[in-house]
Structure 1
Amino acid sequence: MPGDTGTPTPPGTPAPLGTAAERYRMLRLIRGFEELALALVKAGAIPGGIHPYIGQEAVAVGVCSALLPADRLTSTHRGHGHVLARGVAPHRLLAELLGRVDGLNGGRGGSMHAADLSLGILGANGMVGAGAPIAVGAAWAAQQEQAGQEQAGHSSAGPSPVAVAFFGDGALNQGVLLESLNLAAMWRLPVLFVCENNGYATTLPAATAVAGSATGRAAAFGIPAEEVDGMDTEAVRAAALRAVERAREGGGPGFLECRTYRYEGHHTMERRMKLRYRTPEEVEAWRERDPLSRAAALLAPGAAAALDLSVAEQLSAAEDFALASEHPDPAGALDHLYADGLRPRAGVTP
């Protein structure tokens, strides 16, 4: 990763999400960021398109509001909401989507591979379910480090860091997820598995592909599991706080199935392909449960409008920053390919 020195990076500063107003502002930031990204895809500024997170914002904000600075997380191909909710600056993420040098990862990660080790973000991942074993490994490493500190007599080691693995319902039939559940349960690792069940794996209805239930998969491994309204930020937050507290205290992994919905297509390519696998009535029914409207209702009159204006100004500045950033020099295409900095063949330039 550009900027990685090879040494452990101290935790960065996660986004403040301790109040209802802060959580609403983050919901609005994620929604506005995705709407801006969609416009930039349409304009041809973002190559390859994106997987929009619009509609699912309550899951990212609710879960990330339960985390501490030392916690880690892994994300998915639909991961902009997760990394923003954790504290990544929107202008850096937008520049990353545009493939610019001032992007979060120097323009090399793009939409599906954003990472920030200083915030414990171990990376979004384009492979379905692939973040789960990474989170399990991070939780094991944190557990070993904690045990080592205790053995050395450091009683002020602090609460045990927790690792969170986000994944969609399409990952429920992936073997690597089941292997991760098993290992986390056997070793009682502090992992929170968060299934964002939006009802569809690309265009395939989950009901036609998933036998049993999501929570049933976790229960088979003895992992406490809870189904929660993924359109309600406060409900997600409450469930995440319970699971995270249990994990920190040595209670082992937890599992949340957040029932949510994406208002846009699986990928921006759907607009061109004109796919029809959901009825307008279904989409509209879920829009009536919009997490932003529900969160705004908890605020004082006029508060949401003021926060909306603040977010709009922030995103306008982010767009200016990202579009002004330079494109990477093609001569550096092989940089960061190896951890030691060496190129695969001396003297070869792309």
Structure 2
Amino acid sequence: MRQCAAEATVPIIPPEVYNFDANTIPKNVKITKAEALELYETMVLIRRMETEIASLYKEKKVFGFCHLYAGSEAVGTGIVANMKPVDNLITSYRCHAFAMMFQNRQQKDGPFSVMAELAGRAGGLSAGKGGSMHVFVPPHFYGGQGIVGGQVPLGIGMGFAHKYSDDGGVAFPLYGDGASNQGQVYESFNLAALLKLPVVFVCENNLYGMGTAAKRSSASTEYHKAGRFMPGIKADGMDIITTREISRIAADYSRSGNGPIVVQFQCYRYYGHSMSDPGTSYRTREEVQHVRQTRDPLNLFKAVLIEAKLASEDEIEAINKKAKKVCAEAKDAAAAAPSPDPADLYTHVYVKYLEQPRRRTVIG
């Protein structure tokens, strides 16, 4: 039986930088066996959960819109793996993976609570009242937003709160290539840079917006340069080691008082824009299959684990089987959960204001 290593040094895929010191980005990073297996397990759990969500949708147990994240698991996993307990994150409607990860960080049943919410059940994250596009995990995940790009100004509000309270936190507003040309995104860039807010803007460039390719809707797809007066990094979003390291570097930069930075992760989505979109009118099935076979983040990292002797085939298979079982059971439990009590129509409507007034100060 082959002996596995407790730690290994693995390469990251060299990124492109804009007004940023490339020498601060290492070529290799160390990772322990425990860290590596946790990253792999998280990505597998996301993939399996979304497979079950797709099944629930086809069974007509999930209503409305449903936007899946499959293919982009390395981006979300890499970002969340580096977040400090004080950091905050907000994203678009492609949000199920993040909700699950933040629930699991709180030792809660992430897959069940996400699927129950999508099915409109009482055990869901928002008590079954928000659905696919509105899931929240207080106090650090501010949810998925249904308005394209609308989460970005909310994200800099989170950054302002970090600076105001001087708590050392960083805000991560995530948006896609489809939202990258929204006016509110550029307004957010300006204000964040003006106030030097601790914000890491993350553009998840999955190459396609709603029905068209990014290159057909953007005069420039170099989204990491869009801030002009902010530094930027463009990195491979299909490689979990790269996303984890670049997320850490960007957060450390912003956390150190340097102000905001833009990170563009090049990733992909296997499903259409939403479950109602077959996703084949603006790209070919052959293209999707090619990415699955050659660039899948789970398969790529599995190969790294085996090559670096951080895991055996048996250990990887055990993780896969566990994730499949957990998510299948969560799906059945979510489908069988009760509907919200009618009295819940009157809950979560108002919130008490601050009990004591706080002295306002000016941020220079």
Q: What TM-score do you get using the length of structure 2 for normalisation?
A: 0.81
Q: Does the CA-based 8 Å contact 2:238-2:267 persist in structure 1?
A: yes
Gaps of 5+ in 2: 1-32, 105-109, 306-310, 354-364
Aligned to 1:180: 188
Aligned to 1:298: 304
Map Cα deviations across residues 255-282 of structure 1 (whole Å, 9 max, x no partner): 11111110111111124xx852111232
Count how many residue pairs are aligned between Structure 1 and Structure 2.
308
1:289 shift after superposition: 0.3
1:327 and 2:344 are equivalent in the alignment:
no
Aligned to 2:97: 81
Aligned to 2:241: 234
> 1:82, 1:101 → 2: CA distance?
20
- SS in structure 1 at match of 2:253: helix
Aligned to 2:131: 110
1:136 and 2:156 are equivalent in the alignment:
yes
> 1:130, 1:241 → 2: CA distance?
25
Amino acid at match of 1:202: M
Amino acid at match of 2:277: E
> 1:284, 1:269 → 2: CA distance?
20
Distance 1:66 1:320, change over 3 A: same
Map Cα deviations across residues 177-204 of structure 1 (whole Å, 9 max, x no partner): 1111111111111111110111111111
Map Cα deviations across residues 82-141 of structure 1 (whole Å, 9 max, x no partner): 2223344111111111111111110111111100113x0112101111111111011111
Aligned to 2:67: 51
Aligned to 1:206: 214
1:266 and 2:287 are equivalent in the alignment:
no
Amino acid at match of 1:67: M
Q: What TM-score do you get using the length of structure 1 for normalisation?
A: 0.84
Aligned to 2:282: 277
In the TM superposition, 1:93-172 aligns within 5 A as: 93-118=114-139, 120-146=140-166, 160-172=168-180
Map Cα deviations across residues 199-251 of structure 1 (whole Å, 9 max, x no partner): 11111111011112212212x1x211011111111111111110001111111
> 1:22, 1:317 → 2: CA distance?
21
- SS in structure 1 at match of 2:226: helix
1:64 shift after superposition: 0.9
1:332 shift after superposition: 3.4
> 2:171, 2:75 → 1: CA distance?
16
- SS in structure 1 at match of 2:41: helix
Q: Does the CA-based 8 Å contact 1:41-1:49 persist in structure 2?
A: no
Amino acid at match of 1:23: L
Aligned to 1:5: none
- SS in structure 1 at match of 2:265: strand
1:255 and 2:262 are equivalent in the alignment:
yes
> 1:79, 1:130 → 2: CA distance?
14
1:338 and 2:347 are equivalent in the alignment:
no
Distance 1:175 1:183, change over 3 A: same
- SS in structure 1 at match of 2:123: coil
Aligned to 2:23: none
Aligned to 1:244: 251
> 2:347, 2:254 → 1: CA distance?
39
Aligned partner of 2:225 among 216, 226, 235: 216
Q: Does the CA-based 8 Å contact 1:18-1:65 persist in structure 2?
A: no
Distance 1:68 1:340, change over 3 A: closer
Distance 1:320 1:45, change over 3 A: same
Q: Does the CA-based 8 Å contact 2:67-2:94 persist in structure 1?
A: yes
> 1:49, 1:208 → 2: CA distance?
24
Aligned to 1:309: 321
- SS in structure 2 at match of 1:117: coil
- SS in structure 1 at match of 2:257: coil
Amino acid at match of 1:266: H
Map Cα deviations across residues 159-178 of structure 1 (whole Å, 9 max, x no partner): x1111011100111101111
Q: Does the CA-based 8 Å contact 1:20-1:298 persist in structure 2?
A: no
Identify which range, 226-235 or 208-217, moves more after superposition. 208-217
Q: Does the CA-based 8 Å contact 2:52-2:328 persist in structure 1?
A: no
User: What is the RMSD of the two structures over their aligned residues, measured on CA atoms?
Assistant: 1.8
Amino acid at match of 1:181: F
1:92 and 2:118 are equivalent in the alignment:
no
1:51 shift after superposition: 0.7
- SS in structure 1 at match of 2:274: coil
